[in-house]
Amino acid sequence: MITTDKCYENKEQLWGYKEIDPMGGYDPYSSSKAAAEIAISSWRRSYFNPNEYDKHSKAIASVRAGNVIGGGDWAKDRIIPDCIRALENNVPIEIRSPKSVRPWEHVLEPLSGYLLLGEKIYKEPVKYSEAWNFGPDLDSIVTVWDIATKVISNFGKGQLVDVSNPDSTHEAKLLSLDIAKARFKLGWTPKLNIDDTIKITVDWYKEYRNREVYKLCVEQIREFIKK
């Protein structure tokens, strides 16, 4: 089951959140993800307890990724789609929270972790029926402004404008994940640094109009697998 890194009670701490840290959320979105994680944990312990696997033959794991980016994302109020729409329309990129720090990762990173966990839990269901973080290395935990700057550099044009409003609704300023558990218990590690992540993402948006999107996606998946 997939939730998000927003499920943690965010204390704006410098160190990454571990799977055993408290769930919570200041805003409704974060709270809803925390509630989902609590429900998953309760369901697992009450009905499909790993210690009783021989009776029910069910294994449940939950996964929490960082701020996922990649080609094909057109959602509203997300930094990469906002950047691309502005660049394609030759208007400045408006940045609402320039100093907010997030664990940025390409979508293929956590997906590779989910697939690896699926393989592990299939072979040893009792051992891997837990919660797991899949985030980037420390060099990819940077500000929104830095991300947008790198997008412009890779796209070849554009400018940024700070439109932050001190009276806007609450948004966490600092969030990162501790991925030691996935690294040591699954053997999973991120393959892309922040520059690779931005490049492969921007490359998709630079090419999607002129190429068959399916083939473009498959090509990027194959390049990722080589790493």
- Listed by start position, the domains of the chain span 5-226
CB 158 within 8 A of CB 114: no
Q: Which of 191, 205, 185, 224 is nearest to 78 (CA)?
A: 205
DSSP string for 16-33? PBPTTSPB--SSHHHHHH
Is the model's pLDDT at 173 over the cut of 80? no
Of the CA atoms within 13 Å of residue 164, those in its CB half-sphere come to 12
Reduced DSSP (H G I as helix, E B as strand, rest coil) percent helix, strand, coil of the chain, to 5: 50, 15, 35
The pTM for the full model equals: 0.91
Is the model's pLDDT at 170 over the cut of 70? no
Query: What is the CATH topology of the domain spanning 5-226?
Result: UDP-galactose 4-epimerase; domain 1 (3.90.25)
Neighbours of 143 (CB within 10 A): 18
Residue 192 confidence (pLDDT): 97
> Residue 64 pairs with which residues in a beta bridge?
133
Rounded to the nearest integer, the mean pLDDT of the chain is 94
Is the model's pLDDT at 94 over the cut of 60? yes
